[in-house]
Amino acid sequence: MEGKVADMVNEICKAESEYGSWTLMHRCNLCNKWMKIIGNSDLESLAWIYVWMRYSELRKLDWQRKYNTRPSELAASQKNLAFTVTELIAKASKQGFVSPAWILRSILGSFGRGGDYGQRIRDQILEIMHRHRIGETYGTYLEQWHQKLHNNTTPDDIGICEATIAYWETGNMNKYWEVLHSHGITRDRLASFERPITTQPNYTPYLINDFRDFLKTLKSVHSGADLITSIEHARHCFTPFMHVKIDDVLRNLHHWDTISQIERAVWARLEINYHGNKGNNYQYRELLYVDLSLEMYIRQLFESILHRNMAPRHYIRELNLLLDNALITNEDKELIIAVNDWKSLAKRYANNLEGNREIALVLKSAADRIGRIIGVAVDDFSSLFQPKAKTIGERCKIDKDFVDFFSEEIIRASCFFAPSMILRKLDAQFRGIAKLKPWQIISPISKIQGKLIKVELLHDVAYNIYNEPTIILSKKTFGEEEIPEGVLGVISCGELDGLAHVSVRARNQKKLLAVCFNEEEIKNIEKYVDQWICVTSQGGIIIVKSAQEERFEEEENERYDAQQIKRPEPLEFIAISSDQFNERKVGAKANNCEILKRNLPEHFGVPRQVAIPYGGCEYVISHMINEEKTNKYRELIGRLEEMEHNKEIAEDLSDLKKVILELEMPEHEMNEIQEKLESIGIAKEDWEAAFLAIKKVWASKFNERAYLSTAKLRIPLNDIIMSVLCQEVIVGEYAYVLHTKDPFTNDSSHIYGELVLGLGETLVGAYEGRAFSFTVSKNNNDYQIESFPNKSVALRGSGFIFRSDSNSEDLPEFAGAGLFDSIIMKETEEEIVSYGNEKIYIDFGFCKDIIFKLKEIGILVENIFNGVPQDIEGVIKGGKIFVVQSRPQI
């Protein structure tokens, strides 16, 4: 925090905590000053302002301190600030979950509307008292309240007026206190005013009508979000169609069909936001207050039926409306696409949902994507607002318990909270129809014991070595992580592909990896954090119990024996064609692809390929043209071997990668490589891009995850030699991965597969969302779809790919595959995916055809490799199946 932001925050905190005299009027004036300085695009500065004004709105900052403010002065300061904020909103961006427009609207809703009625508060209370000959007798309720109104009116007066009316309407003093408490006003707060209220009202019901009118005056000054008041002020600003929509809402304020009333209110908001006059600051201000009031009203309607249990079709209808409501003020591209997909699929399938497993999976997948996006929004809220709430809270001496929950309170008040709650209810219903269990057990282990720890991200503890058996509860796991040494199992709270890198490595290392989808179950597990637990897997679910500190004999020593890596033959040529491939020149990917090319039927495809064999990188590093880089490389390697296993190693690994990326290729060797690359279609003018891709593959030997995995298996990085397989990229509609033995059940009679749109890196890399997944029997026509795809993005690319192909790919107990990088020569592009009209979603017959085509290739490839279960990657292009690599399943 520096510059004008620091100046602003310092001035705010000094005024709030040090000034002897301070009121709402002063706060609005100071806010107005800074709003004019920071404008409508500086998100960080706007966030500071909002946190400050939100604390004020929630009474965590003084509304009046040793200063008498005339109501007219307060109203004028609020009016001026409102016009400043309104002008900024009109041109503010709505892009993002926490956009400038959203923050500015929230600031506008954090203080009273002000206006020209401030003096009317003083005058009207006196008129009522004089009209009914109520004396200004010291110590009486109305006189005490009158003195407060006269000198220091605040939004508390709305609650006081409503409570007084409630008492007069019922004759029940308990009702008076009940209404006060609903406004956050206690007996102590009443007595704390500089013009204190220490008595209770007398029963004078003949004043009810006068005070109902007075309540309107109070709301016109202090409330920007009162529905009736805001509509009355804005009537003259409405278009004819706005009148129709607003009147429809007002006619049905007490209608029994709450979802239909939510619909009316959302339509009214849509009309105001898309046809409101932003060019007239006065009119737009009035429309904004109506919009804020409708937004709050929709939240109240939602909360009024939240406790009800409804059929899926009613929840789907309600969710559609609540998502439309959220999108009015938040323009996130993926959220818009995901909502449109959801609405399209819900319209197609909702009436046939009951008892249909595949439809339930489709709708669940679409809903899960929206839930995941809302989760990102929640993270954005927390990261933007919570640090600022802590700073202002500490400096202004706000109660720590409230400060700690500041961002959570904002999230609950946002338009994202209601959809998230409905998504939870629908998830339970979809899971029930699809007969899904609350657990996804990716790497099953029958029983483990260890100390439970909780982490935000599995990657955060990648370098840790645990000296006692440990089980990790991870809030989020992306898929590329390495399970730390000493960890027996990981329970993740977020969706994860079964064939992601971490999934494959967990099964290879015989570690528990499971995902829990039930929030209550996660909360129960969290009770055991820092305790010794026993975790068992039974019938597709995980059971967690407290346990004694003991270990099973088979778990006494997790340390692995050092692996023996095959030594390649000396480098003969810097580049070779596929007919020269053998296991001492190139890795398993290249050799296996050549075997497949010779043995697969013609209606299946294998891409053209050449290779940079083992030793190519080492030869180029040691060449005199790279002498200076050679010395740097050797220095870094020496340091790496001497350093302890900790996060400081990451810097040296990064430096080693930089050295490799700076290598130059000797001219003779460059010509050799170019000649081979031309044979598969890479032009000479693309040499620089091709060479950079080759170097990136070589450099991936020093990937963080590769270092962690090799260190665990006591494999020196120097023993790993990288060849590079150069292939044409098959540009298809889908990429797939098959395991010809079900990796979850170890059933060799079933194939498990996953499929994504675009390139396959989204399937195995750190890309959130699920793939299309299935199991299919080798022996008959039985198959089952496990999930539909909901990845946020598809990777699009063309040209040529350079694949890592090391001598450590398929060592026993070592999942070498996936540790190193494969690089597409032409940079890939991320495309936000729309699934609404995707054939996999709307044509179940098409899904079946794909599954059986992949079953055919899976069986063929396994048979070519003598019945050894295979891990196969490939592409589907125009219905034709291509295999781009295959290796023994581990």
pTM value is: 0.86
Please report, rounded to a whole number, the percentage of residues in the chain having pLDDT higher than 90. Answer: 70
Catalytic annotation on 501?
yes
Q: Looking at the predicted structure, is the pLDDT value of residue 744 above 90?
A: no
Q: Nearest 5 degrees, angle CA 809-CA 813-CA 815?
A: 40
**d(C-alpha 659, C-alpha 702), whole Å:** 11
Residues 326 and 372 grouped into a single domain: yes
**d(C-alpha 591, C-alpha 585), whole Å:** 9
Distant-in-sequence, close-in-space partners of 19: CB < 8 Å, separation ≥ 6: 26, 65
Of 730, 698, 703, the residue nearest 613 (C-alpha): 698
Residues 537 and 612 grouped into a single domain: no
- Among the candidates 555, 590, 617, a domain finishes at 555
Residues 197 and 340 grouped into a single domain: no
81, 28 contact by CB (below 8 A): yes
- Average of per-residue pLDDT across 606-624: 94
Alpha-helix residue ranges (DSSP H) falling in 276-404: 281-305, 312-327, 333-349, 357-395, 400-404
Residues 81 and 103 grouped into a single domain: yes
Torsion sign (Cα): 591, 595, 600, 602: positive
Number of domains, the chain: 6
- Among the candidates 409, 434, 459, a domain finishes at 434
Residues 600 and 505 grouped into a single domain: no
With bands split at pLDDT 50, 70 and 90, how would you rate the model's confidence at 651?
confident
Is residue 257 assigned to a domain? Answer: no
**What CATH number did the domain enclosing 625 receive?**
3.30.1490.20
Residue 220: per-residue pLDDT = 86
Residues 616 and 531 grouped into a single domain: no
**d(C-alpha 370, C-alpha 375), whole Å:** 9
pLDDT per residue over 129-152, tens digit each? 989 989 877 789 999 999 999 888
Is residue 538 assigned to a domain? Answer: yes
With bands split at pLDDT 50, 70 and 90, how would you rate the model's confidence at 554?
very low
Distant-in-sequence, close-in-space partners of 706: CB < 8 Å, separation ≥ 6: 700, 717, 720, 819, 820
Is residue 250 assigned to a domain? Answer: no
**d(C-alpha 179, C-alpha 202), whole Å:** 16
Residues 92 and 145 grouped into a single domain: no
Residue 813: per-residue pLDDT = 53
Is residue 292 assigned to a domain? Answer: no
pLDDT per residue over 160-170, tens digit each? 999 999 999 99
**d(C-alpha 546, C-alpha 535), whole Å:** 9
Is residue 767 assigned to a domain? Answer: yes
Residue 849: per-residue pLDDT = 97
487, 504 contact by CB (below 8 A): no
Q: Looking at the predicted structure, is the pLDDT value of residue 33 above 70?
A: yes
- Mean pLDDT, the chain, whole residue set: 91
- DSSP codes of every residue in 587-639: -HHHHHHHHHHHHS-TTEE---EEEE-TTHHHHHHHSGGGHHHHHHHHHHHHH
DSSP summary character for residue 134: -
Residues 23 and 38 grouped into a single domain: yes
Which residues constitute the domain of residue 611? 576-728
**d(C-alpha 68, C-alpha 35), whole Å:** 25
Of 360, 372, 373, the residue nearest 327 (C-alpha): 373
Residues 101 and 31 grouped into a single domain: yes
- Average of per-residue pLDDT across 386-408: 94
Highest mean pLDDT among 436-440, 481-485, 559-563, 656-660: 656-660
pLDDT per residue over 57-72, tens digit each? 999 999 999 998 889 9
Residues 415 and 482 grouped into a single domain: no
Ramachandran area for residue 832 (φ above 0: left; ψ -120 to 50: alpha; else beta)? beta
Residue 518: per-residue pLDDT = 86
Is residue 134 assigned to a domain? Answer: yes
Question: Which token pair is 328?
Answer: 């009015």
Half-sphere exposure of 499 (CA within 13 A, CB side): 31
Q: How many helices (H) does the chain have, and how many strands (E)?
A: 33, 23
Which amino acid would we find at residue 656? L
Residue 485: per-residue pLDDT = 87
Three-state DSSP at 468 gives strand
* Helical axes 43-57 vs 357-395, angle rounded to 10°: 80
Is residue 423 assigned to a domain? Answer: yes
**What CATH number did the domain enclosing 842 receive?**
3.30.470.20
Residue 572: per-residue pLDDT = 92
pLDDT per residue over 330-381, tens digit each? 889 999 999 999 999 999 999 999 999 999 999 999 999 999 999 899 889 9
Residues 740 and 877 grouped into a single domain: yes
| Number of neighbouring beta carbons within 10 Å of residue 373 | 20
pLDDT per residue over 248-275, tens digit each? 999 999 999 999 999 999 999 999 998 9
**d(C-alpha 266, C-alpha 321), whole Å:** 7
**d(C-alpha 752, C-alpha 784), whole Å:** 10
- Among the candidates 204, 222, 240, a domain finishes at 222
Is residue 371 assigned to a domain? Answer: yes
Residue 615: per-residue pLDDT = 94
Active-site option among 26, 146, 501, 750: 501
Q: Looking at the predicted structure, is the pLDDT value of residue 766 above 80?
A: no
Residue 561: per-residue pLDDT = 52
Residues 664 and 701 grouped into a single domain: yes
Distant-in-sequence, close-in-space partners of 746: CB < 8 Å, separation ≥ 6: none
Q: Looking at the predicted structure, is the pLDDT value of residue 556 above 60?
A: no
pLDDT per residue over 277-336, tens digit each? 899 999 999 999 999 999 999 999 999 999 899 999 999 999 999 999 999 988 899 999
Q: Looking at the predicted structure, is the pLDDT value of residue 555 above 50?
A: no
pLDDT per residue over 437-477, tens digit each? 888 888 888 889 999 999 988 888 888 889 899 999 998 88
Torsion sign (Cα): 346, 347, 353, 359: negative
**d(C-alpha 596, C-alpha 601), whole Å:** 9
Torsion sign (Cα): 229, 234, 236, 241: negative
Q: Looking at the predicted structure, is the pLDDT value of residue 866 above 80?
A: yes
Lowest pLDDT segment from 74-88, 458-472, 811-825: 811-825
